[in-house]
Structure 1
Amino acid sequence: MRRLPRTLYGQLLLTLLTSVLLANVIGIALVLTDREQLTRTLRAEYVAQHLADMINLLDETPPANRGKLAGAMSSPLVQVVLGHPWLDSRKADWPEASMLCQLIRDDLNFPYRMQVLSFREDEPNAPEGLLTPFMEPGMHVFSPADKQFGVKAVPSDMEAGEQELKIQMATVQVTLRDGTVATFRIGQVVSPKETPWRVTAWLLLVALVVAAVSAWAVRRLTRPLALFSKAASGLAANLDQPALPETGTQEVVNATRAFNRMQKELQRFLQTRSQMLAGVSHDLRLPITRIRLRLEQLQESPQRQAIERDLVEMDQLIGDTLAYLRLGQGNESRVLLNLDALLEGAIEDIEALGAQVRYASEPVKPLLARPQALRRCIANLLENARRYGGDGVIEVRLLERDGRVEVLVRDHGPGIADADLERVFEPYVRLEHSRAKHTGGSGLGLAIARAIAREHDGDILLFNHPQGGLCAELNFPAQRAA
């Protein structure tokens, strides 16, 4: 099942070709079977007509002249013997025997006593001279008669590999009206079975024509769906992409129209949200600024310091929330970026806050990325390691393998419970009770970092190091062409 096509185009094409070819194979098999059955029926009718004419003629001929007439009737494939005793042997058990007997009776002028016999070469009571058919000189019996009143005969000088001849034989005895027993041994050369090349060629021609027409028709029907799938995949990366053309079947047109309507609604929603964010940013930061101005008029005291800390935390929370909500709406373009230099700059910033960082990198060629967004993503990972990793050294490693860039940030803190490794990416989720206390933060750092990673078609994974500490792995494809 794994080798079957998974695309709609491939499955439809495979279904059409399989059904048409199967129908052709079955139809051709039925035609060949009917043709063979018709040929056998016509052959039996010809033999029966020939025998009936000879029997009628012998019965009408005076007994004195029957010997000469029997000799004249004999030929390489017909042997006529008069006066042979009536044979008592098992009746013929091949399917054509009863049909042949009935066909002969239908053409006789009188209901003669008649029997159709079946003998084999090894039967002790086989009549001498009746089992070996009259064949042309140079032929000899190759095998005894089978149940289809036949023997195989080959020329004595035939080379190996040549087609042998098969002669169908029948032994018929009739008692004429004067009591004379006429014995007939009649046979026909059967055409050897050959491979039906014309039928095979016809089947191949039908297969090629059906394959070409089916491929064109299925491609024409599924092409709008392919464009629809491509547009849906690129919607997250570029919401302002051109609308899809509403062409194709009615079902595809309806789906395309609904998709275009959804894209417009999303654009309208994001525009409204952007306007709301601008208003919220202004309305929230303006009271904070007024409070700070009023604090400047107060004397230095513990209460003033506590209020200032609260204002800083509020400002940071507002900034992180707005930054999280603005993700995916930025106008920053991808540029060719030296990731190693960007990492060194982010490490210098975190070291200025007192963190100790050990950095190791492998050669990574410049790649396309959004520098400001990617720098914020890495800075959030480093800040997370600084806040919750204790006093240990932060280890940072950069490498590229299998076309993907990996940035690994490891701290030496207590780590995170396995059940919380995914939950910490949710907005406003903080685990200070399990890692460190009074560390601050808005609970949006990892959520923003993962959102930026996914904007670069990548992701961030968290796992506990076997030797202790938490590891954050940022990975995304290394794109170097526009």
Structure 2
Amino acid sequence: MRRLPRTLYGQLLLTLLTSVLLANVIGIALVLTDRERLTRTLRAEYVAQHLADMINLLDETPASNRAKLAGALSSPMVQVVLGHPWLDSRQTDWPEASKLCHLIRTDLNFPYQMQVLSFREDEPDAPEGLLAPFMEPGQHVFAPDKKFWVRALPSGLEEGEEELKIQMATVQVTLRDGEVATFRIGQVVSPEETPWRVTAWLLLVALVVAAVSAWAVRRLTRPLALFSTAASGLAANLDQPPLPETGTQEVINATRAFNRMQKELQRYLQTRSQMLAGVSHDLRLPITRIRLRLEQLQESPSRLAIERDLIEMDQLIGDTLAYLRLGQGNESCVLLNLDALLEGTIEDIEALGAQVNYTSSPVKPLLARPQSLRRCIGNLLENARRYGGDGVIEVRLGERNGRVEVMVRDHGPGIADADLERVFEPYVRLEDSRAKHTGGSGLGLAIARAIAREHDGEILLFNHPQGGLCAELNFPAQRPA
């Protein structure tokens, strides 16, 4: 099953070709079988009518002239013998005997006593001279399993050359005056040949059906292929041109629904952007007014607490707006030196007191969104600084199999396996404390994973065997052609 095509185009083409070829093979086999059966029937009827005419003619001929007539009627394929003793009919066990006898009796003028039998060369009861009356001296006759069939070498053919298959039988009739007429008949059967014409016909049918089916199936599935490509690129580029509404009615309906969905998404994002701009202005304006009023108050513990709350509110608003703006494609991809970007981000986290051990292997410049990627890596480093204790943060950069890998490891307590995926959900914090310096806003990892997926990548979390949590960022290394 693994070798079968997985695309709709391949499966439809394979189904059409298999069904058409199978139908042709079965139909041609039935035609050949019917043709062979008809050929045997016509031959048997011809032989029976020929024998019946000879029997009627011999019976109507005076006994004194029958010998000359028998000689005249004899031919290489039919031998007529008069006066031969009546043969033992115990050997007539082949199925064609009764059929041939019935066909002969149909054309006889009188219900003569008659028998149809055949002898094999190795049978002791076979009368001499009746096995192969038309063979030349030095030739031989032999019979395979069926008694009705013998093989004979025609005159002038040497041993080992092509042989003829001859169908032979012996017919005896008692004429009305009591004389026995014996007929030894033989008929050359067409040799079994390889049906080259049938094979060529099947090959021609296969080629024509393959060409027509490939064109038809490709014409039917091409809109679906475009539909699949457009659906895959919709997340990366929502402003891509609408799909052409072509193809069958079902495909046209699906394309219209897809284009309508794209327009609705564009309208929704535009509305959300306008709402975000309003929320950002409406929230930050009162915070700014509160800060100005705090400047008029004297230094006190209450004032410091209010300032901390305002800072936390401002960061929470900033993180929320940043998370909601993801996926709008506001930042373009540029050719980026990832090693330099990592060094700059590490310097920022070291300024906050973290210790970082950075190792990297050469990575060629690639296409990426620098600000988004810097924020993604910065969030991973900030989590390692915040929850990794006083240990050194290990950062490693490398490229393998066309994918860039950034590994960030801390030496903290790690995370329970059941929570490794849950921490990526927005506003999920594993700490009970709501303090900013311990719990954060709960959006850092959600933003980091969303940025990674914008680059067709992923972020994975796992506990290191020697302790600590590892965060792996990997995404394909896209470079200009």
Q: TM-score, normalised by structure 1?
A: 0.96
Assess if the C-alpha contact under 8 Å between 2:120 and 2:147 holds in 1: no
Report the alpha carbon displacement of residue 89 of structure 1 after superposing the two structures with TM.
2.8
Q: Distance in 2 between matches of 1:354 and 1:99?
A: 110
Q: Secondary structure at the match of 1:101?
A: helix
Report the alpha carbon displacement of residue 277 of structure 1 after superposing the two structures with TM.
0.4
Q: Secondary structure at the match of 1:333?
A: coil
Deviates more, 1:273-282 or 1:193-202: 193-202
Q: Distance in 2 between matches of 1:288 and 1:470?
A: 36
> Given the superposition, is the C-alpha separation of residues 241 and 177 from structure 1 closer, same or farther in structure 2, using an over 3 Å criterion?
same
Assess if the C-alpha contact under 8 Å between 1:403 and 1:477 holds in 2: yes
Assess if the C-alpha contact under 8 Å between 1:413 and 1:435 holds in 2: no
1:308-341 alpha-carbon deviations (Å, 9 max, x no partner): 1111111111100000000011421111111111
Assess if the C-alpha contact under 8 Å between 1:133 and 1:169 holds in 2: no
1:68-117 alpha-carbon deviations (Å, 9 max, x no partner): 22222222221222222222232533332222111111111111111111
Report the alpha carbon displacement of residue 231 of structure 1 after superposing the two structures with TM.
0.8
Report the alpha carbon displacement of residue 430 of structure 1 after superposing the two structures with TM.
0.7
Report the alpha carbon displacement of residue 434 of structure 1 after superposing the two structures with TM.
11
Q: Distance in 1 between matches of 2:160 and 2:314?
A: 97
> Given the superposition, is the C-alpha separation of residues 172 and 359 from structure 1 closer, same or farther in structure 2, using an over 3 Å criterion?
same
Structure 2 alignment gaps of length 5 or more:
none
Deviates more, 1:432-441 or 1:279-288: 432-441
Structure 1 alignment gaps of length 5 or more:
none
Report the alpha carbon displacement of residue 119 of structure 1 after superposing the two structures with TM.
2.3
Deviates more, 1:262-271 or 1:113-122: 113-122
Report the alpha carbon displacement of residue 148 of structure 1 after superposing the two structures with TM.
6.0
> Given the superposition, is the C-alpha separation of residues 465 and 437 from structure 1 closer, same or farther in structure 2, using an over 3 Å criterion?
farther
> Given the superposition, is the C-alpha separation of residues 190 and 431 from structure 1 closer, same or farther in structure 2, using an over 3 Å criterion?
same
Report the alpha carbon displacement of residue 229 of structure 1 after superposing the two structures with TM.
1.0
Report the alpha carbon displacement of residue 435 of structure 1 after superposing the two structures with TM.
14
Deviates more, 1:243-252 or 1:371-380: 243-252
1:42 aligns with 2:42: yes
> Given the superposition, is the C-alpha separation of residues 353 and 270 from structure 1 closer, same or farther in structure 2, using an over 3 Å criterion?
same
4+ runs deviating over 6 angstroms: 434-437
1:415 aligns with 2:414: yes
Report the alpha carbon displacement of residue 138 of structure 1 after superposing the two structures with TM.
5.0
Equivalences for residues 312-351 of structure 1 within 5 A? 312-351=311-350
Deviates more, 1:156-165 or 1:11-20: 156-165
Q: Distance in 2 between matches of 1:161 and 1:392?
A: 93
Q: Distance in 2 between matches of 1:436 and 1:280?
A: 24
Q: Secondary structure at the match of 2:143?
A: strand
Q: Distance in 1 between matches of 2:211 and 2:97?
A: 50
Report the alpha carbon displacement of residue 178 of structure 1 after superposing the two structures with TM.
0.8
Q: Distance in 2 between matches of 1:447 and 1:441?
A: 12
> Given the superposition, is the C-alpha separation of residues 59 and 167 from structure 1 closer, same or farther in structure 2, using an over 3 Å criterion?
same
Report the alpha carbon displacement of residue 156 of structure 1 after superposing the two structures with TM.
8.2
> Given the superposition, is the C-alpha separation of residues 393 and 156 from structure 1 closer, same or farther in structure 2, using an over 3 Å criterion?
farther
Report the alpha carbon displacement of residue 154 of structure 1 after superposing the two structures with TM.
2.6
> Given the superposition, is the C-alpha separation of residues 283 and 172 from structure 1 closer, same or farther in structure 2, using an over 3 Å criterion?
same
1:210-241 alpha-carbon deviations (Å, 9 max, x no partner): 11111111111111111111111111110011
Assess if the C-alpha contact under 8 Å between 1:285 and 1:315 holds in 2: yes
1:10-66 alpha-carbon deviations (Å, 9 max, x no partner): 111111111111111111111111111111111111111111111111111111221
Deviates more, 1:217-226 or 1:159-168: 159-168
1:180-239 alpha-carbon deviations (Å, 9 max, x no partner): 111111001111111111121111111111111111111111111111111111111100
Report the alpha carbon displacement of residue 437 of structure 1 after superposing the two structures with TM.
10
> Given the superposition, is the C-alpha separation of residues 164 and 341 from structure 1 closer, same or farther in structure 2, using an over 3 Å criterion?
same
Q: Aligned residues, how many?
A: 481
Percent of pairs identical after alignment?
90
Aligned to 2:287: 288
Q: Secondary structure at the match of 1:438?
A: helix
The two structures, once aligned, show a CA RMSD in angstroms of: 1.9
> Given the superposition, is the C-alpha separation of residues 19 and 471 from structure 1 closer, same or farther in structure 2, using an over 3 Å criterion?
same
Q: Distance in 1 between matches of 2:51 and 2:277?
A: 109
Aligned to 2:231: 232
Report the alpha carbon displacement of residue 142 of structure 1 after superposing the two structures with TM.
3.9
Deviates more, 1:315-324 or 1:289-298: 289-298
Assess if the C-alpha contact under 8 Å between 1:140 and 1:156 holds in 2: no
Q: Distance in 2 between matches of 1:137 and 1:270?
A: 103
Q: Distance in 1 between matches of 2:434 and 2:106?
A: 107
Equivalences for residues 158-307 of structure 1 within 5 A? 158=157, 162-307=161-306
Report the alpha carbon displacement of residue 120 of structure 1 after superposing the two structures with TM.
2.4
> Given the superposition, is the C-alpha separation of residues 280 and 395 from structure 1 closer, same or farther in structure 2, using an over 3 Å criterion?
same
Report the alpha carbon displacement of residue 470 of structure 1 after superposing the two structures with TM.
0.6
Assess if the C-alpha contact under 8 Å between 1:143 and 1:153 holds in 2: no
1:158-184 alpha-carbon deviations (Å, 9 max, x no partner): 567642211100111111111111111
1:125-172 alpha-carbon deviations (Å, 9 max, x no partner): 22222223422455312445x536220123587567642211100111
Report the alpha carbon displacement of residue 257 of structure 1 after superposing the two structures with TM.
0.8
Q: Distance in 2 between matches of 1:159 and 1:265?
A: 89
Q: Distance in 2 between matches of 1:293 and 1:351?
A: 32
Report the alpha carbon displacement of residue 296 of structure 1 after superposing the two structures with TM.
1.2
Q: Secondary structure at the match of 2:283?
A: helix
> Given the superposition, is the C-alpha separation of residues 298 and 213 from structure 1 closer, same or farther in structure 2, using an over 3 Å criterion?
same
Q: Secondary structure at the match of 2:191?
A: coil
